[in-house]
């Protein structure tokens, strides 16, 4: 693996400004134990010790090397284990950003990591920040902005994801600011900012998301770089929630590669990567180095490498040498102009050994070629401004031909932009517009100041050539482009883009998804612009600008979920909702099940009973005697306002205008598509006041649905909606003896059938003093009453009902029994018997859909052909012929012919619930069956069973179809 081509340079030659050569550590990378210095990263340590390979590529398994010196590196992804107690190994970390600690272990992964399987024992936290001015990026532009804004008196928060401040300026030996070496200017500026109590300057802090109203989120990595374990309670990461009045984006730019044949070999890097490793870490990435460029940014590096005796040549695609290039020539740099690198070669260790340089002809074709023996190639295809946070906020971006990059198209309100994010690569400009951005931002928060621009020597830059892809020396068909890599993390080539355009795609969004370009760990930081460049080349008449770029999404770079969760971990994460009567169920030995977030009693087994026996006993009690169930979880929404009835009339499929005060009505809600999405009984408390019940799981969705229609379409209707689900606890008493139990509970109320009709309700005070609403609603088909009381009386209500019913052997029943009782009656459970595609008519609720109402949500759908189809799935009951078979929910149903036909066959439908029924003395279930209501008597089969279970289709209501039991015994 090691060739020794890369190495650490002697301190007196290039010191490397971010490493401390007096503080040695030892690290193990990919199984090799090696020395490093404090300040090194995984990749700088690797290169310093002569290793250049990182993980192989994700799909093709091609050998890859370090590409960049920062967050934009798509190749070096590591799993890191630190030598301290109470840390877990973390994966998919970007090698150039991982600082070494003593005895750490880092292992490269092949594009995909594996999460640690143990829980993370460390501590995570968050803070809220409200600066006047947020400065993102502490390069020269950001520092100048923060300096200016803080001198104006503004409260400034300045954040940079790197460990050191100064951005790309760090370790640029040629740069001078205000007459001082740039590194001195950085140190003095940082010292001034740190001394100011109104300034917070944080390194190792990534602003990863930008949201409405200048809300930003950032992650600060606080302890990873420390050797020692910090005490528990000191957070490893801190999430910053930032509300900034003004923002300065000084996020810089990323260099990008050029696409050519075999451009992915270890040893091929970004030129800025070579410069970064050299000047920041004192590490030379190779011994004989060529540079390949479209622009002037490589020339300071070229001169430095020439001086060190390691430069072979600069291949510059431009025909005319710029002033900067000419100065380099004068300083001894060998430039091969009007040429490109069109291929590379390697040895059997997969290390770069040479490049093929071709003349670059006017039409982009390749001319004469020659070979250069080099072990390293530094590439610069131009610079892409880091516009991510602007784009996350839907800020417009535009292609700038001069910059050869996507730049800010239109500034966002309260955003200021400074430095190379604007496209300018000149230090002097970065400092000047940094100071102006800082002043403007501070000014906007009421802090005026005179602008003091830090001054740097004026530089000069020649034009940037528009080259993103070099033609293949092997021809024009797709195979000739199979090793022209566009996205290194996703292993996607020009051939892959050709496949996408060949399939007819021309939009960047489609091609991104078809090829997966830019969807990797690096989110296309180095690959996206080249992908668009390749597209514009392949799609005649499409320019960079009209292809455009995709909108960036948070996070800017990978962040940890655990950091986002902060302290909200463990059981707190998914709160368990219990009703006020939960303890009573526990005391009764209930077996619980989850219904959404709610914990509900499933059944109450008695000593020695099986689950089936318990459920059977509970259903028998509710049919023959009396049962009670905690139905507190039902969603409840109070609706007030003089137009409430009109509002409900539009929301529900049936009429609500004429519902009398004191009565309730069952209603079904559908989407505008006419498909059922919730149901429940709504009571009319007063002319202008309703009390709606929703399904337990649907409460929030329904509230949003009401609010949405009210706020967007019918805001002129006077209606307000209040969620009161938790305000009331409810017990339903059901069974022929229910009336007798009720008479014990509320002696004031006349429970005679004629005095208290079905779907009526009463407000009363129970004999024990609890205020209650009693409604005659039934979900079992038996005589039933629902008692709703303020939640603080929930437990007392349960006990009171149990006591009143004791002499009638009142039996608590759970969800399992309730499912059977309601299925026997053909009552639908939305979400169990419906799947979002069914109309009310499909599930036996034609009667709930008004034929008279002018309009209601969903009405127009029913006129569509699709709703008239004879073969719509309809809810029916099914009965196993053998009377005892049981099948799973969801079991597919087919006809007798299809049972023996070669697979695949179309199903006739599926089972939505299948049960054992004591009342029917057999098993039965509900099923959605094509044209079901017209197929009563037909046989269907569940082929998943051996032998297949045979069923007969029967009408939806299996028990007491005439409804004779609803009023109970007189």
Q: Of 186-245, which residues contact ligand NAD (CB under 6 A)?
A: 206-207
Pick the closer one to ligand NAD by CB: 432 or 692.
432
Q: Which of 139, 381, 548, 943 binds ligand NAD (CB under 6 A)?
A: 139
Residue 141 within binding range of ligand NAD, rule CB under 6 A:
yes
DSSP string, 563-583: HHHTT--GGGGSPPB--TTHH
Which tokens belong to 3?
A: 């060739």
Q: Which stretch binds ligand NAD (CB under 6 A): 45-53, 164-172, 636-644, 793-801?
A: 164-172
Residue 552 within binding range of ligand NAD, rule CB under 6 A:
no
Q: Which of 48, 169, 324, 397 binds ligand NAD (CB under 6 A)?
A: 169
Gap between the Cα atoms of 235 and 123, Å rounded:
5
Q: Which of 63, 142, 925, 968 binds ligand NAD (CB under 6 A)?
A: 142
Beta strands in 662-810 (DSSP E): 664-670, 676-686, 689-694, 720-723, 728-734, 761-765, 771-775, 784-790
Gap between the Cα atoms of 537 and 531, Å rounded:
10
Pick from 431, 427, 428: nearest CA to 143: 431
Beta strands in 449-517 (DSSP E): 485-487, 492-493
Q: Which of 3, 253, 778, 818 binds ligand NAD (CB under 6 A)?
A: 253
Pick the closer one to ligand NAD by CB: 424 or 492.
424
Q: Of 623-652, which residues contact ligand NAD (CB under 6 A)?
A: none
Residue 419 within binding range of ligand NAD, rule CB under 6 A:
yes
Angle at 341 between CA 340 and CA 342, to 5 degrees: 105
Pick from 92, 528, 75: nearest CA to 266: 75
Q: Which of 408, 430, 875, 956 binds ligand NAD (CB under 6 A)?
A: 430
* Nearest-approach distance from CB 263 to ligand NAD, in angstroms: 20
Angle between helices 494-502 and 528-538 (to 10 degrees): 50
Please give the torsion angle defined by the CA atoms of residues 52, 57, 61 and 63, in that order, rounded to the nearest 10 degrees: -20
Residue 355 within binding range of ligand NAD, rule CB under 6 A:
no
Residue 425 within binding range of ligand NAD, rule CB under 6 A:
yes
* Nearest-approach distance from CB 547 to ligand NAD, in angstroms: 24
Angle between helices 815-824 and 611-624 (to 10 degrees): 50
Pick the closer one to ligand NAD by CB: 425 or 949.
425
CB 94 within 8 A of CB 557: yes
Pick the closer one to ligand NAD by CB: 204 or 542.
204
Pick the closer one to ligand NAD by CB: 253 or 649.
253
Q: Count Cα neighbours of 937 within 13 Å in the Cβ-side half-sphere.
A: 1
CA distances from 787 to 399, 584, 744 (A): 67, 17, 13
* Nearest-approach distance from CB 128 to ligand NAD, in angstroms: 18
Q: What DSSP designation does 253 have?
A: E
Residue 386 within binding range of ligand NAD, rule CB under 6 A:
yes
Gap between the Cα atoms of 545 and 768, Å rounded:
76
Q: Which of 51, 360, 383, 813 binds ligand NAD (CB under 6 A)?
A: 383
* Nearest-approach distance from CB 43 to ligand NAD, in angstroms: 16
Residue 276 within binding range of ligand NAD, rule CB under 6 A:
no
Please, which residues bridge with residue 774 across strands? 762, 787
Contacts of 551 (CB under 8 A, 6+ apart): 391, 392, 394
Residue 619 within binding range of ligand NAD, rule CB under 6 A:
no
* Nearest-approach distance from CB 180 to ligand NAD, in angstroms: 14
Q: Which of 90, 160, 264, 842 binds ligand NAD (CB under 6 A)?
A: 160
Residue 251 within binding range of ligand NAD, rule CB under 6 A:
yes
* Nearest-approach distance from CB 202 to ligand NAD, in angstroms: 9
Residue 252 within binding range of ligand NAD, rule CB under 6 A:
yes
Please, which residues bridge with residue 652 across strands? 669
Q: Which of 56, 90, 99, 161 binds ligand NAD (CB under 6 A)?
A: 161
Q: How many CB atoms lie within 10 A of CB 44?
A: 30
Gap between the Cα atoms of 703 and 694, Å rounded:
9
Residue 382 within binding range of ligand NAD, rule CB under 6 A:
no
* Nearest-approach distance from CB 147 to ligand NAD, in angstroms: 12
Residue 297 within binding range of ligand NAD, rule CB under 6 A:
yes
Q: Tokens 């380099």 sit at which residue?
A: 328
Q: Which of 98, 134, 146, 159 binds ligand NAD (CB under 6 A)?
A: 159
* Number of shown-chain residues binding ligand NAD (CB under 6 A): 31
Residue 427 within binding range of ligand NAD, rule CB under 6 A:
yes
CB 651 within 8 A of CB 855: no
Pick from 871, 529, 858, 897: nearest CA to 705: 858
* Nearest-approach distance from CB 901 to ligand NAD, in angstroms: 60
Pick the closer one to ligand NAD by CB: 209 or 943.
209
Q: Which stretch binds ligand NAD (CB under 6 A): 34-42, 413-421, 464-472, 515-523?
A: 413-421
CA distances from 815 to 104, 595, 596, 602, 798 (A): 54, 9, 13, 5, 16
Residue 168 within binding range of ligand NAD, rule CB under 6 A:
yes
Binding site for ligand NAD (CB under 6 A): 136-142, 159-162, 167-169, 206-207, 250-253, 297, 383, 386, 419-421, 425-427, 430, 556
């Amino acid at each position: 693996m090691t060739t020794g081509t890369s190495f650490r340079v002697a301190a007196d030659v290039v010191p490397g400004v971010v490493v401390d050569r007096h503080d040695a550590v030892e690290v193990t990378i990919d199984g090799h134990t090696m020395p490093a210095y404090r300040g090194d990263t995984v990749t700088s340590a690797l290169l310093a010790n002569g290793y250049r390979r990182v993980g192989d590529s994700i799909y093709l398994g091609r050998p890859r090397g370090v590409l960049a010196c920062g967050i934009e590196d798509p190749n070096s992804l590591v799993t890191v284990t630190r030598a301290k107690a109470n840390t877990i190994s973390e994966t998919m970390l970007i090698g150039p950003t991982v600082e070494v600690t003593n005895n750490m272990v880092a292992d490269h992964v092949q594009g995909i990591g594996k999460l640690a399987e143990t829980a993370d024992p460390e501590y995570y936290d968050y803070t809220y920040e409200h600066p006047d001015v947020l400065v993102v990026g502490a390069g020269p532009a950001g520092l100048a902005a923060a300096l200016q804004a803080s001198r104006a008196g503004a409260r400034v928060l300045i954040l940079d994801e790197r460990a050191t401040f100064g951005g790309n300026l760090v370790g640029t030996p040629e740069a001078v600011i205000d007459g001082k070496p740039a590194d001195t200017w950085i140190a003095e500026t940082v010292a001034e900012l740190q001394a100011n109590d109104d300034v917070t300057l944080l390194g190792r802090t990534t602003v990863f998301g930008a949201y409405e109203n200048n809300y930003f989120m950032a992650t600060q990595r606080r302890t990873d770089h420390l050797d020692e374990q910090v005490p528990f309670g000191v957070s490893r990461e801190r999430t910053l929630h930032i509300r900034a009045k003004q923002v300065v984006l000084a996020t810089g730019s990323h260099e990008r590669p050029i696409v050519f044949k075999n451009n992915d070999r270890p040893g091929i890097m970004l030129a800025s990567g070579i410069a970064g490793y050299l000047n920041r870490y004192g590490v030379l990435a190779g011994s004989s180095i060529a540079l390949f460029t479209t622009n002037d940014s490589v020339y300071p590096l070229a001169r430095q490498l020439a001086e060190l005796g390691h430069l072979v040549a600069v291949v510059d695609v431009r025909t005319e040498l710029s002033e900067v290039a000419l100065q380099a020539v004068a300083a001894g740099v060998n430039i091969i102009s009007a040429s490109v690198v069109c291929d590379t070669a390697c040895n059997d260790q997969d290390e770069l050994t040479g490049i093929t340089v071709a003349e670059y002809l006017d039409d982009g074709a390749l001319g004469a070629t020659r070979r250069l023996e080099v072990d390293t190639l530094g590439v610069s295809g131009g610079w892409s401004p880091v516009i991510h946070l602007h784009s996350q906020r839907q800020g417009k971006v535009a292609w700038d031909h001069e910059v050869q990059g996507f730049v800010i198209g239109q500034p966002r309100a309260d955003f200021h932009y400074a430095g190379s994010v604007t496209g300018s690569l000149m230090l002097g400009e970065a400092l000047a517009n940094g100071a102006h951005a800082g002043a403007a931002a501070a000014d906007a928060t009421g802090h005026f100041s005179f602008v003091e621009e830090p001054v740097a020597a004026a530089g000069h830059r020649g034009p940037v050539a528009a080259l993103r892809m070099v033609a293949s020396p092997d021809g024009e068909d797709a195979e000739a482009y199979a090793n022209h890599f566009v996205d290194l993390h996703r292993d996607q080539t020009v051939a892959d883009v050709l496949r996408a355009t060949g399939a007819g795609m021309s939009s960047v969004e489609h091609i991104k998804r078809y090829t997966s370009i830019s969807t990797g760990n690096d989110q296309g930081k180095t690959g996206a612009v080249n992908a668009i460049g390749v597209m514009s080349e392949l799609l005649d008449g499409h320019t960079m600008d009209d292809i455009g770029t995709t909108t960036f999404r948070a996070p800017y770079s990978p962040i940890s979920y655990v950091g986002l969760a902060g302290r909200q971990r463990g059981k707190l994460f998914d709160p368990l909702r219990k009703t006020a009567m939960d303890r009573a169920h526990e005391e009764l030995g209930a077996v619980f099940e989850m219904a959404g977030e709610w914990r509900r009693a499933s059944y109450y087994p008695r000593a020695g009973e099986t689950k089936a026996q318990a459920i059977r006993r509970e259903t028998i009690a509710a049919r023959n005697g009396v049962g009670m169930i905690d139905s507190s979880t039902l969603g409840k929404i109070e609706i007030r306002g003089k137009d409430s009835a009109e509002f409900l009339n539009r929301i529900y499929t049936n009429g609500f205008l004429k519902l009398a005060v004191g009565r309730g009505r069952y209603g079904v809600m559908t989407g505008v598509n006419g498909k059922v999405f919730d149901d429940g009984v709504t009571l009319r408390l007063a002319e202008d006041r309703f009390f709606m019940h929703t399904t337990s799981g649907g409460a929030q969705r329904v509230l949003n649905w009401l609010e949405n229609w009210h706020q967007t379409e019918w805001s002129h209707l006077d209606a307000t909606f209040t969620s009161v689900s938790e305000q009331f606890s409810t017990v339903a008493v059901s069974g022929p003896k229910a009336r007798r139990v009720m008479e014990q509970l509320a002696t004031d109320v006349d429970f005679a059938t004629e005095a208290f009709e079905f779907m009526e309700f009463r407000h009363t005070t129970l004999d024990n003093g609890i205020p209650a609403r009693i409604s005659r609603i039934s979900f079992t088909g038996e005589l039933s009453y629902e008692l709703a009381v303020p939640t603080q009386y929930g437990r007392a209500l349960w006990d009171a009902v149990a006591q009143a019913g004791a002499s009638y052997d009142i039996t608590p029943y759970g969800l399992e029994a309730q499912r059977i009782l309601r299925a026997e009656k053909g009552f639908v459970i939305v979400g169990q018997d419906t799947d979002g595609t069914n109309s009310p008519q499909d599930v036996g609720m034609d009667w709930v859909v008004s034929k008279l109402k002018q309009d209601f949500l969903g009405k127009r759908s029913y006129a569509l052909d699709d709703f008239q189809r004879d073969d719509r799935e309809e809810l029916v009951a099914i009965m196993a012929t053998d009377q005892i078979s049981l099948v799973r929910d969801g079991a597919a149903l087919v006809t007798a012919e299809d049972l023996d036909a070669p697979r695949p066959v179309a199903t006739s439908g599926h089972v939505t619930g299948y049960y054992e029924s004591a009342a029917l003395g057999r098993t039965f279930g509900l099923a959605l069956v094509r044209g079901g209501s017209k197929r009563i008597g037909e046989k269907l089969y569940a082929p998943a069973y051996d032998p297949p279970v045979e069923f007969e289709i029967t009408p939806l209501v299996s028990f007491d179809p005439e409804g004779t039991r609803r009023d109970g015994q007189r």
